[in-house]
Structure 1
Amino acid sequence: MADENGAVIWEKVADGVLLVTLQRPPANALGLPVIEGLNAALDDATGTKVVVVRSALDGYFAAGADIKHMSSIDAESFTEYGDALRGALDRLAATDRISIAAIEGLALGGGLELAMACTLRVAGENAQFGLPEVKLGLIPGAGGTQRLPRLVGRGRALDIMLTARQVGATEAHSIGLVDRLVETGTASEAATTLADELSALSLPAQQAVIRAVDASFERPLDEGLRYEAVEVGNLFERGEAKEGITAFLDKRRPRFA
């Protein structure tokens, strides 16, 4: 399917997997057409367990916010635009499903913020990452200042944002910005294969993993351990743990929802 602007298309490529493709030339600027397309795709994601986001454009995942649009609006409209972009990325980042960014080429500014909103990032060796907003007298405003430190640490995040430099795929993988590094041109295939693997597992358990890991950044260790214990108990009582345990004992594949 496609949104009315044609900037985003999506299709269910496997049981529980939705493939979302950005295709707004020349660089997938995250203007209103892409924002609306992302929201439309997520509206249609009911019943899917994994969403893969990729680009159809050579050399670009997404090159940032729509600067031309930003240059033509007043402060009130700028705030509305930022809220709309953050809203779409927050929906992608929500733990109701897993999301994977398949990155080839440039992922800059809002494009990197889009990738960081995903649960995981798979990148080709040609990928380049950066948050160059200080060159415009701005800061990353769609989650960049919050998500980047959680992925790479405070010092590395400051280095990337304060210098506005681009980070190559190898460095991005070594510092934890990228989760899987693959040959150029294979990121989409690798991300879809990973999505197939993830969709076969228990989504409630995966959601609990994400919540518990996120809690480790927000709580002291003793509180985090208690939170983990609550999550385990909930999965055993109301989740899919009984099916998983029964399948293991029966030596068969579990039948997760």
Structure 2
Amino acid sequence: MSESVVRQEVVGRVLHVVLDRPPANALGAPIIEGLTAVADTLERDDTVKVAVISSAIDGIFAAGADIKQMGTLDPESFAGYRDALRAPVERINRCGKPTIAAIDGLALGGGLELSMACTLRFATAASKVGLPEVKLGLIPGAGGTQRLPLLVGRGRALEIMLSGRSVPGEEALQIGLVDRLVDGDVVAEALAYAETLAAFPVTAMKAIIDCVDAVSGVPADGMQLEGELVVEMLASGEAAEGIAAFIARRPAAYA
């Protein structure tokens, strides 16, 4: 299953990863398994020097966690889902090779968290990115509360997460949430840029990434706090209502 929903193709020295789990690339077990295989490739294949992650679904990079799956989980099982999703995302982030998220459409929740774990983000004006977990009575649980402030600053990060709004591509570029706005085929441009980077030594590129992360890297204690609180949100009951309302397509009735 994971091979069909997360495809890998090595072209020269670039790994092209394509998410393809209709209708929205929900980050359930099939994509998690596929991303784990991607992390394996990045860590073990020395011929791969750069990776591009894109989507085969028109208008969607990834719309977030698998909420239907989440609706069946108790807090303990939800913690397992959190850890399963976090593991390949963190491995991709720490692989030591440049990674580029090519976003054309929606990158929400876990989809944005995956893209923020990449080294760079390319997007289009039609793209919309955000962390809407608050609408479900949850918080981002795959590094979103930690990486978003590093990219856009504390105030902007809080405004985006507290409102749960989607940020359009132009604004995302202006605030530093994406690094390049493409007028045209974002995947083709990301792949071309990746091929340019692939001409450089991996050791030098890894050193640059490591030095920058030493200044602004995600703190382990922040990730631990986020992980604990996202499960607490589910255990409190409010998230259970938010998830049930989302699945039933009705307004949530929070206390």
**TM-score (norm. length: structure 2):** 0.81
Confirm whether residue 36 of structure 1 aligns to residue 30 of structure 2: no
Q: Which moved more, 1:36-45 or 1:129-138?
A: 36-45
Partner of residue 190, structure 2: 191
Q: TM-score, normalised by structure 1?
A: 0.81
Mapped partners of 2:117, 2:82: distance in 1: 15
In the alignment, is the contact (CA less than 8 A) between 1:24 and 1:34 conserved in 2? Answer: yes
Check conservation: 1:95, 1:210, Cα contact below 8 A.
no
What residue identity is the alignment partner of 2:33?
E
Amino acid at match of 2:104: E
Rg comparison, structure with higher value: 1
Counterpart mapping for 1:44-63 below 5 A: 44-45=41-42, 46-47=45-46, 48-63=48-63
The one-letter code matched in structure 1 to 2:108 is: L
Q: Which runs of 4+ in 1 moved over 3 A?
A: none
- Return the letter of the residue paired with 1:44: T
Shift of residue 215, structure 1, vs aligned partner: 1.8
Distance 2:66 2:215 in 1: 35
Deviation at residue 7 of structure 1 after TM alignment? 1.1
- Unaligned runs of 5+ residues in structure 1 are 219-257
In 1, are the aligned partners of 2:96 and 2:209 still within 8 Å (CA)? no
1:210 aligns with 2:213: no
- Number of aligned residue pairs: 214
1:73-107, Cα deviation, whole Å (9 max, x unpaired): 11111000000111111011014211100001000
**What is the alpha-carbon root mean square deviation over aligned residues?**
1.2
Aligned residues of 2:51 and 2:99 also touching (Cα < 8 A)? yes
CA distance in 1, matches of 2:108, 2:57: 14
Which amino acid in 1 is paired with 2:11? V
- Residue 124 of structure 1: how far off its partner (Å): 1.4
Q: Are positions 1:18 and 2:25 aligned together?
A: no
**Whole-angstrom CA distance in 2 between matches of 1:200 and 1:66:** 37
Unaligned runs of 5+ in 2: 218-255
2:83 aligns to what?
83
Instruction: Determine the C-alpha separation between the residues in 2 that align with 1:3 and 1:75.
Output: 25
